[in-house]
Structure formats: C-alpha cells, structure tokens
C-alpha cells in the first residue's frame, strides 16, 4: 500500500520541462525558477570613464532602465542611443555584466547617452508584454524631455532631437516593432525625435524554417533547439511563430510596404542561424524603397559584439554604428 502512495506522490512531483542557459527552469506544474545570477559570468569593467545610474520607467511593472554617459563628454550635447538587451524574450537583464560592459563601450565609443531598459520576460509575461515595455521606455524619455522638473543628470547632456533605438537579438525585434509603431519622424514622441534604428542580429521567426535555421550547426551559440525553445516560451499560447510580432512577413502581419519608416541598420554575423531572416527583411524593405542598410560579418556568430567586444569585427561594427549616427543626425 505504501508503495502505491509513494508512486502517486512521485508522479505528482513537478519535473523540469524547459531550461534556458542555466538561469531559467520551467516545471511541469507551470512553476518557474529564475536564478539571481547572470548566465554570462564575466567581470564588470567599470573604470570610471563612464558614469551610470538606474531609473524607474514603469512602476506598475517594477521596471528600471540604466542610463550611461561619458564622464568627460566630447560635446555639450550628446545623441541618445537605446540598447535593448537580448535573451530570446526569456532571459537577460540590463544588470547582467555582458550588457553593462557593452553599454560602457557604447557610451565611450559613440560619445552618447545610452539607455538600457529592462522588460518583462516570458514565460511569465508572453508577447506582446516585452514590446509594450519597449514602448514605455521610449515614452519615459519623452516625459523627461517635457518635464518641468527633469532629471538634469540626463537633460544637461542629452540631445532629444537625436535619438537612436537599437536592440540586440530579442531587443532587435523590439526595435523593429517600435519602428513600425512610431513611424517616420516619431510624431507621437515630440519633442523627442528618433533618427534611426539599429537591429543587431534581430530575433525574427516563422513557421517555415529558413536555410540558415535548417542547416546551422547544432553547436552554434544560438542553435535551432534553443531558438525553438525561446519561441515556445514567449509567443502567446495557441499562436505560432507566424505571429505578427515574430514574423514581419507572416500571413497576419501588417504590410510594411506602404509604411514610412526611419532609417534602419541591420547587422548580422555570417554564421548566425538568424541570418537569412534578417537579410530577407533588409532586402524586402530595400525593394520597397526604405532607407535600410544590411551589414554582415563573415564567420561571426550570434552576439559576437557582446561576447568579444574588443575583437576586430566588434570594433569595426562600432565604427559602422558611429557613422550611421553621424549620417542620420544631420
């Protein structure tokens, strides 16, 4: 009799059904465990050349963003550059050391104010939560620009007429969806003016596998099994990866052809499984007459610029971003 009881109790014990990079575990009963530690354990290189602080941007959802600026700026007014972190919509944070180190580098090399927002993560908060949070992070900037009692730490150096929105992987998806939502000239953000978007290895999907997804190496930093898991955990339950927020060219997606969009820079590693989708995205928008540039770094994997921020390709990418900012600011 006791064996039956033990067996029943064992059957009721929740078991792990999904795991992401050691920092997220999803169990059979729907419960979720998240680590307080980052999945990328690298030292933070805070040498004082960049100053930073956190600010609330959405008290309803307890969301912060991290602000960075050069300690000795080269100009009295600096462009504003959003850096929205990646992690398949499921993991990642503005406070992870790899994110923080890259933002230090962006602030110094671009001579810009960097804004790195958090957003609600899946599976607790499935899409469109992350997209909405990205929008709220940009609306926060507008509130600062219009405030009678602004945060002078920001407003003394920030040029609200030169704003660029970038995102890494899932953050690149958020940046794309913001570009579509805000439209050219971002009229609803006035006096904030978005000049362009930088999509760094944007995380797009679709029910039909691309060639690079189907043939990409299993040992890739972002392999197909992990891509599939991120989508399963982040898309609305009952939906597919042709969801309009996931696949810009899905059957239910809004046509991008008639839309007026701000300039977009798309950056991919040549060995990234997401490459074909991003390249197709850029080529279609180019055919429709949009101001879009596609840059591919041969042999580089997903996230090469944050994994090896001092590498030659990452250094070259920084110069490309800097040129894009200068060109689109005039």
User: Is the bond preceding 123 in cis, omega lying within 30 degrees of 0?
Assistant: yes
**For 47, left (φ over 0), alpha (ψ -120 to 50), or beta?**
alpha
Take residue 86 and report the two structure tokens written for it: 């990646």
Beta bridge partners of 66: 54, 116
> Are the beta carbons of 273 and 220 closer than 8 angstroms?
yes
* pLDDT for position 303: 95
- CB count within 10 Å of CB 188 equals 12
Residue tagged active-site, from 116, 169, 212, 234: 169
Active site residue 169: yes
User: Which ranges of the chain have pLDDT less than 50?
Assistant: 1-2, 4-5
Reduced to 3 states (helix: H, G, I; strand: E, B; else coil), residue 174 is helix
- CB count within 10 Å of CB 77 equals 14
Reduced to 3 states (helix: H, G, I; strand: E, B; else coil), residue 112 is coil
Reduced to 3 states (helix: H, G, I; strand: E, B; else coil), residue 190 is coil
What tens digit of pLDDT does each residue of 191-217 get? Answer: 999 999 999 999 999 999 999 999 998
* pLDDT for position 6: 52
Alpha-carbon distances of 51 from 68, 83, 326, rounded to whole Å: 6, 16, 23
Total residues belonging to the chain: 330
* pLDDT for position 12: 79
Alpha-carbon distances of 106 from 225, 274, 314, 325, rounded to whole Å: 31, 24, 11, 12
* pLDDT for position 85: 98
* β pairing state of 63-70 and 32-34: unpaired
Residue 111 to residue 108: CA distance in whole angstroms? 5
Give the DSSP letter of residue 231.
H
Residue 18 to residue 24: CA distance in whole angstroms? 8
Q: What are the residues whose beta carbons fall under 8 Å from the beta carbon of 132, sequence distance 6 or more?
A: none
* β pairing state of 264-269 and 194-200: parallel
Residue 38 to residue 85: CA distance in whole angstroms? 13
* pLDDT for position 8: 54
Alpha-carbon distances of 316 from 14, 228, 300, 311, 321, rounded to whole Å: 48, 31, 13, 9, 9
> Taking each helix axis from N to C terminus, what angle separates 170-182 and 129-146, rounded to the nearest 10 degrees?
60
Give the DSSP letter of residue 298.
T
């Amino acid at each position: 009799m006791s064996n039956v009881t033990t067996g029943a109790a064992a059957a009721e014990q929740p078991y792990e059904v999904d795991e992401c990079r050691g920092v997220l575990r999803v169990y059979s009963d729907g419960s979720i465990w998240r680590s307080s530690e980052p999945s990328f354990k690298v030292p933070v290189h805070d040498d004082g050349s960049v100053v930073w602080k956190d600010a609330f941007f959405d008290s309803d959802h307890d969301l912060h963003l991290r602000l960075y600026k050069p300690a000795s700026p080269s100009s009295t007014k600096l462009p504003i550059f959003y850096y929205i972190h990646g992690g398949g919509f499921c993991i990642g944070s503005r406070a992870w050391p790899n994110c923080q180190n890259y933002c230090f580098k962006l602030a110094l090399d671009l001579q810009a104010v960097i804004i790195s927002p958090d957003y609600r993560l899946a599976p607790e908060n499935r899409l469109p939560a992350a997209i909405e949070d990205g929008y709220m992070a940009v609306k926060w900037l507008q509130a600062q620009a219009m405030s009678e009692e602004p945060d002078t730490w920001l407003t003394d150096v920030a040029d609200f007429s030169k704003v660029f929105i970038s995102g890494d992987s899932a953050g690149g998806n958020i940046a794309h969806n913001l570009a579509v939502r805000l439209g050219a000239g971002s009229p609803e953000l006035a006096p904030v003016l978005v000049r362009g978007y930088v999509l760094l290895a944007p995380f797009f999907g679709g029910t039909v596998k691309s060639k690079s997804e189907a043939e990409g190496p299993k040992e890739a930093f972002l392999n197909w099994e992990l891509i599939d898991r991120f989508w399963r955990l982040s898309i609305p339950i009952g939906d597919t990866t042709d969801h309009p927020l996931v696949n810009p060219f899905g059957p239910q997606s809004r046509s991008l052809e008639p839309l007026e969009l701000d300039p977009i820079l798309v950056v991919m590693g040549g060995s990234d499984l997401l490459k074909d989708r991003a390249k197709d995205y850029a080529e279609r928008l180019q055919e429709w007459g949009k101001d879009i540039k596609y840059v591919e770094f041969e042999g580089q994997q997903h996230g090469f610029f944050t994994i090896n921020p001092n590498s030659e390709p990452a250094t070259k990418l920084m110069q490309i971003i800097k040129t894009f900012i200068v060109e689109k600011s005039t």
